[in-house]
Structure 1
């Protein structure tokens, strides 16, 4: 049975994996445009301004691999990144943007559900929650969506450097309580900060579990 926390070997494998090349290789604005499912994918989901681009950049050690839009909710495509030919990272469009119309929000949900439900190589979704503000209604709706799509998701708290130890502990308990109510939720919550690198090595180790062995590809 797979343990919740990564082992020392998995932490080292994660370090090596994310120290290698990682490049943008595809952008899809519709389900019909998705690239071939030729390797495992880990998708990042979260509200607009949750720090998704910052976490992806921190994981890969790059400053501008994933770029945040200056206008929340503007990015509408799925962005695919090739991690050394062993794993794909997928940057999903942000949700919960206040200025979007109901039609735009519904279109986002239809498109994302089609991707989540129909992507055979999708290994896990990393659901990012802003540690400073906690859970919002849109986060809970996406948890329901992931349950319906039967995709395992792991909640990762972002921007945790802004919280005191006691505040962070309370936030983790809040999110753990939510995770226990969702069949598709992985039970362990990871607290991160792209500024201080809190939790980055742990998250790399967790994600390395889904990468193809280095010997399988040149």
Structure 2
């Protein structure tokens, strides 16, 4: 059977189940439990992991806080590009969020940028519990070369990544359509890209329950 909008009632029921699963997952306690500045500090994970990557100031901390319903769980550095460690958050004993250092900070030295890429590549390739990378892109600005570089790195590491657009509340309908098509064209060129895009706004709570559902479905 189909509803008036042409979507099958089975699909509607399935979507509702994932939305509810996402709500239940993130009603559990979420807490920071570990930070690592070097890979040799890491211990094997006992839970599935999802990593969050993005340029400095893209809104990673805000998105993690919105997903978990906690305003101060993840804290952004007061100086962009300064945080250079992997931060781990336990989500109700079911899932681990890995907050990766922001990349693309213009004032960072070339040696710092190379060290970041080396560490991230080693982490991505050597983490069997890592299910997916959520790659955050700012919907208000054009794609940067550093974004393209990280997508190529994820392709090489053979790690599935899903693009999550942030700060979407200020887009007009025309801008939204243009950005959506641009990103669809982009992910078609990357072997590791997950085919579905999420548009979010942490400030307006746009797309948060849908992203929660994605994560619940993933685990």
Runs of 4+ aligned residues of structure 1 deviating over 3 Å after TM superposition are none
Task: Output aligned runs, 1:1-218, within 5 Å.
Answer: 7-211=15-219
- What's the secondary structure of 1:7's corresponding residue? helix
Aligned-pair distance for 1:134?
A: 3.1
What's the RMSD between the two structures over aligned residues? 1.1
Distance in structure 2 (CA, Å) of the matches to 1:119 and 1:36:
8
- TM-score with structure 1 setting the length: 0.93
Structure exhibiting the larger radius of gyration computed from Cα positions: 2
Worse-superposed segment, 188-197 or 27-36: 27-36
Can you list the C-alpha shifts for 1:159-182, whole angstroms capped at 9, x where unaligned? 000111210111111111110000
Structure 1 unpaired stretches of 5+: 212-218
Offset at 1:198? Answer: 0.8
Q: What's the TM-score, normalizing by structure 2? A: 0.92
CA displacement, residues 71-126 of structure 1 (integer Å, 9 cap, x when unaligned): 11100000000001100001000000000000000000000000001101000000
How big is each residue's C-alpha offset from its partner over 1:106-153, in whole Å with a ceiling of 9 and x where there is no partner?
000000000001101000000000000031110000000000000000
Name the count of aligned residue pairs: 207
How far apart, CA to CA, are the structure 2 residues paired with 1:72 and 1:27? 18
